[in-house]
Amino acid sequence: MSAANIVIALTKGRILEETLPLFAAAGIEPAEDIFKSRKLLFDTNLDNVKLMVIRGSDVPTYVEFGSADMGVAGKDLILEYGDEGFYEPLDLKIATCRLMTAEPVNRQPSLDRLKVATKFTNIAKRYFAEQGKQIELIKLNGALELAPSLGLADAIVDIVDTGRTLKANGLEPRDLIADVSSRVIVNKAAMKIKHAVIRDILGKLRQAVEAGG
C-alpha cells in the first residue's frame, strides 16, 4: 500500500527561507528552486508530498478546509484566525518576534475610549476586553506606525521585531500580547485518515527543530 498523499502549505517570504532548511533536515526538499518559480504547488523528493507556497494569512484557511493537510503559519495569524479548525502540534521556533501594543513615547493615560489601529482586529478585541478596556478599532493593513502621529489612533497592535521602526516613528512598545513563532498546523480529518504519514513528518520535523535545523 502506498503512503497517503500529503499537501503542506508553507508561508511565502522570509518565513519560507527559515522553513525550508528545517524541512530539508526532515528529509523533505522541493524538486525545484521555489524562489525562482512563479508556481504555487511544488513536487518534492518524496512522491507522496507536495508543497504549496501561499500567503501566511491564507494558510489556516487552506488547512482548516482540507485543501492542505498540514501548514506552517505564524502564531499571530493562528491567533487572529482562531485555532478551532485544526491542530497545532509543533512549534518550529523560527521567525520569532512579539505581538505588542505600542503608543507614542510618554503618552499619558486617558479616560477616553482608546482608538487602536491594527490588522489583528480579533486579537486586539480579545486582548483589550480581557483588560476591561473599551476601544475603537481601526483596521489597517500597513503603515500602522503612522496612525498615532497623524491622529488616526492612540495606539497600535503590531508585530515587533527589533523595535527600530517604532522608535523611528516616535512610538514605544508597551504591553506584550503574545510571543510569536512559526507553528505547524494539521487538518483534523487528515490527522485521523493520514495519521501514520503525518506523525512521521512531525517526528522528523521535531528532531530537526531540536537539532537546531
What are phi and psi for residue 14, nearest 5 degrees? -60, -35
**What are the CA-CA distances from residue 59 to residues 71, 143, 160, 186, 188 (Å)?**
6, 23, 21, 11, 14
CATH architecture of 97-178: 3-Layer(aba) Sandwich (3.40)
pLDDT of residue 199: 97
Q: What is the pLDDT of residues 82-95, one digit of tens each?
A: 989 999 999 999 99
Domain range summary for the chain, segments of one domain joined by +: 6-95+181-210, 97-178
Q: What is the pLDDT of residues 42-87, one digit of tens each?
A: 999 999 999 999 999 999 999 999 999 999 999 999 999 998 999 9
Helix (H, G, I), strand (E, B) or coil at 167: helix
Confidence (pTM): 0.92
CA distance 45 to 48: 9
Using an 8 Å Cβ cutoff, are 77 and 57 in contact? yes
CATH tag, 6-95+181-210: 3.40.190.10
pLDDT of residue 164: 92
**By CB neighbour count within 10 A (0-12 exposed, 13-18 middle, 19+ buried), where does 87 fall?**
middle
**Cell numbers at residue 133, please?**
478596556
